């Protein structure tokens, strides 16, 4: 460790502890990863509320598109971005070499997180109908998504 000194300030540089040596670090890594995956569909739901506020579904219906086509376009348009972000998060977690992500259940856990995304997007879009304003959706939907995932986790565990 080197010491950097100034007039009244002293900082000591130390190496960061490895995740392999800290079970708490592994738990925190998994919690951050799970929270990131849970909040992936939030922008899609906020955009759906913003579209409804502007009357876009009614205009598309007047132009000949059915509500189901609009919903499918939102889901199929947003899922690739969610998948790319989730794969990136999983790659970062594996690169950090957290013990739970390197064990025999690592691949099934990654597969489950990728299968979870379409369900999470559908759940977020259904919950978006509770809101009239995009700002309200952006403020409250993360809490509802976390509660929904907690119920799913409690059911499986």
Question: Which of these ranges, 10-14, 72-76, 87-91, has the smallest mean pLDDT?
Answer: 10-14
Domain with 81 in it:
22-156
| 2 is a domain residue | no
pLDDT tens track for 10-61: 667 777 655 555 556 666 667 777 777 888 889 999 999 999 999 988 888 8
| 135 is a domain residue | yes
Question: Which of these ranges, 24-38, 79-93, 110-124, 136-150, has the smallest mean pLDDT?
Answer: 24-38
| 78 is a domain residue | yes
More confident residue, 6 or 15: 15
With a cut of 80, say whether residue 80 has pLDDT above it: yes
| 119 is a domain residue | yes
Q: Rounded to 5 degrees, what angle do the CA atoms 150, 106, 109 make?
A: 30
| 39 is a domain residue | yes
| 38 is a domain residue | yes
Confirm if 113 and 156 have CB atoms less than 8 A apart.
no
The whole-angstrom separation of Cα 15 and Cα 37 is: 29
* R_g of the chain, CA atoms, integer Å: 21
In whole numbers, what is the pLDDT of the chain averaged over residues?
79
Q: How many domains does the chain have?
A: 1
| 28 is a domain residue | yes
The whole-angstrom separation of Cα 113 and Cα 83 is: 10
| 17 is a domain residue | no
More confident residue, 143 or 19: 143
With a cut of 80, say whether residue 102 has pLDDT above it: no
With a cut of 70, say whether residue 156 has pLDDT above it: no
What does the block give as tokens for 25?
């670090």
């Amino acid at each position: 460790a080197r010491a950097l000194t100034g007039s009244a300030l002293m900082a000591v540089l130390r190496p960061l502890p490895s995740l392999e040596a800290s079970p708490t670090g592994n738990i925190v890594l998994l919690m951050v990863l799970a929270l990131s995956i849970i909040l992936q569909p939030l922008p899609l739901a906020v955009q759906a509320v913003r579209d409804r506020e502007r009357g876009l579904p009614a205009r598309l219906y007047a132009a000949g598109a059915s509500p189901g086509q609009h919903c499918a376009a939102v889901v199929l348009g947003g899922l690739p971005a969610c998948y790319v972000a989730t794969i990136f998060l999983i790659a970062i977690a594996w690169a950090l070499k957290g013990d739970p992500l390197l064990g025999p259940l690592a691949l099934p856990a990654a597969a489950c997180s990728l299968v979870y995304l379409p369900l999470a997007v559908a759940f977020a879009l259904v919950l978006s109908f509770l809101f009239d304003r995009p700002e309200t959706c952006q403020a409250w939907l993360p809490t509802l998504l976390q509660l929904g995932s907690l119920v799913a986790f409690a059911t499986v565990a």
